[in-house]
Amino acid sequence: MRVVLQRVSEASVTVDKKTISSIGNGILILLGITEGDGLEDIKWLVNKIANLRIFNDDAGVMNKSIVDVEGDVIVVSQFTLFASTKKGNRPSYIKAAKPTIAIPLYESFISEIENALGKKVGTGIFGGDMKVALVNDGPVTITIDSKNKE
């Protein structure tokens, strides 16, 4: 499982010209799921994300977590995070999990992050044609892969 985290001052997801999720201060999470991912990957990533100190304290040092600042989160499924670009110029997405595997894991990830934060999170629409807008704060952008825990 792979995520791209972007600390944002605002973010939104729009589908068919209708905003379905929007947040202020928080994190936009782009979530990629691959074959072999499971509940252990979800729990590890959620714990890492909830406790990652990427928000500024009073001294302007990144020393606070999303929980500490009571920030909001949007989770967007992003199969292209597992694109392979080794051959040619057209990316291959064969490493991305099929929807029958990915959808339940995506839903479990959302449930686990909501439990960790103690509040609802915004989402995109799995497999949907989404327009994601954000103001990256910092900018702070971090990638985490659950297969690279060490």
Please return the burial class of 41, using the count of CB atoms within 10 Å of its CB with bins 0-12, 13-18 and 19+: buried
Return the active site residues: 80
Separation CA 25–CA 74 (nearest Å): 11
- Find, among 97, 101, 103, the residue nearest to 82 by Cα: 97
Q: Contact, 66 vs 46, CB < 8 A?
A: no
